[in-house]
Each structure stands twice: as C-alpha cells, then as structure tokens.
Amino acid sequence: METIDIKVLPLLFSFLLLTVPIYLSHVFKIGFIRSLLYSVVRMAVQLFLIGIFLKYLFRLNNPYANIAWLVVMILVAVFSAIRNSSLKAGKVLVPAFVSFTIVTLAIVLYLNGVIIRMKNIFDARYLIVLGGMLLGSSLRGNIIGISSFYKNIRKDSKRFLYILSLGATRHEAVLPFLRESVQLAVRPTLASMATMGIVALPGMMTGVIMGGASPEVAIKYQIMIML
C-alpha cells in the first residue's frame, strides 16, 4: 500500500481553512491575522525547501552528513527554546546545546541500535526522522520548564536567598524551583500520553500507517518514541 500523493492544486485548497480563524480574528479584533499569515507562509516555504533537501540527503545517506544535519536541527531547537524562554543566549547557549546534543544523539542511537536493531544506526530515514520527533516533542516541555524555572527564581528571589542564608548549598536552594519547573514541563506530555490513541492519533503512528505499515507496527514505533 502506497501513500496517496496530494496534488498541488488540492493542497492549495487546504489554505481555505484559514478563512475561519482570519474571519474570527477580524470580527473579534484579536489582531493575529498578520502573524498567522506570516507563520503559515514561512511554514510552507520551510517545509518545501526541507523536503527538497531531505530528498537528496536520504538518497546520499552519508553518516557524517546525517549527523551534521541532526546537529543543525538541535542547534535550531536550542535557539528556539532560549528565545521563547526570554533568556540571553550568551549565558545558556553552550550548556544547552551540549546537553541537547548528548541526550538526543544518545537516545536516537539507542533506539536505532538496541530497540530497532538496525545494521546502519546512522541511516538518514531513522536518524533524522526520529531525532526530529524527539526534538519536536520535547521542545514545548523544555520551553515551559526553562522559562518557569528562571521566572520563579526572579519572582521568589527572597525565598531563594533565605534558603541560602540557612546554610543550604546553591544546589539545595535551587532544588524546589527545579522541582516545580519539571512538574510543569512534564504535565502536558503526561496528559497527552494518557489520552493517546483515544483522543488523537500521534504523528509517528499516523506517518507509519500512511506509509503502508500495519497499525501494530505503527503502535510499536509510537510507544518507542514516547518513552
């Protein structure tokens, strides 16, 4: 079973769905029409260019090129997380990039080598796709966690200083704020996992099924990527 291709003209008709939010924004004077159109156009152009690039990258399937592109994806994700957390890149860019890179590469290579048991663990179709799924699913949680952590410390700085004055180490003083931010970060993921398959079919499962695989295989891949 092959995936049904979507022609260009029918695809353009899908943009007609934007008339509803645009109309509502105009009627209720919400004021996001310009940002909506900008985001949609940027999304379409980016996906079109990335689709062309990935076509040749998958065809080349060079391990070094695959890893290099995954690193670029990680770098973009780090910049996005920092920007949306209202932080200065100079202070957190390097540690965030190193931690993102180590964790993403370790998980993807573990999935490819141990779980899927691929002969070539650097295969572009799996390394880049799984890496993108991991980055995409974790980005929202990272933004929530990082922004809430720094926001709570600034907001409740007296509490932080008071804990330090009692003789606690910096690690011990930070721990309550870290605990709160982690709880906020994982809450959307836990809610999504609890309703997955009943409320909505997730991206990995949908893609595998539309690619021609059986639902049983798709479920295995989705469980793997969620864990």
- Out of 9-13, 64-68, 223-227, which region has the weakest mean confidence (pLDDT)? 223-227
Mean of pLDDT values over 9-20 = 91
pLDDT at residue 226 greater than cutoff 80: no
pLDDT tens track for 44-92? 999 999 999 999 999 999 999 999 999 999 999 999 888 888 788 777 8
Q: Which residue has the higher pLDDT, 2 or 213?
A: 213
3-state secondary structure of 99: helix
Burial label for 164, CB within 10 Å (0-12, 13-18, 19+), is middle
- Between CA 54 and CA 60 the distance in angstroms is 9
pLDDT tens track for 75-88? 999 998 888 887 88
Domain ranges of the chain: 1-60
Q: Which residue has the higher pLDDT, 135 or 1?
A: 135
The pTM of this model reads: 0.81
pLDDT tens track for 102-136? 999 999 999 999 999 999 999 999 999 999 989 98
User: DSSP strand E in 140-194: where?
Assistant: none
Residue found under tokens 């670029």: 72
Return the structure tokens found at 73: 């994806």
- Between CA 64 and CA 156 the distance in angstroms is 46
pLDDT at residue 100 greater than cutoff 70: yes
CA angle centred on 79, ends 73 and 84, rounded to 5°: 125
- pLDDT-derived band at 200 (thresholds 50, 70, 90) equals low
pLDDT at residue 94 greater than cutoff 70: yes
Average confidence score pLDDT of the chain: 88
Q: Which residue has the higher pLDDT, 215 or 197?
A: 215
Q: How far is CA 51 from CA 187, 208, 216, in A?
A: 32, 17, 28
Q: Which region, left, alpha or beta, applies to residue 6 given φ > 0 means left and ψ of -120 to 50 means alpha?
A: beta
pLDDT at residue 191 greater than cutoff 90: no
pLDDT at residue 97 greater than cutoff 70: yes
Q: What is the pLDDT of residue 1?
A: 57
Q: Which residue has the higher pLDDT, 205 or 175?
A: 175
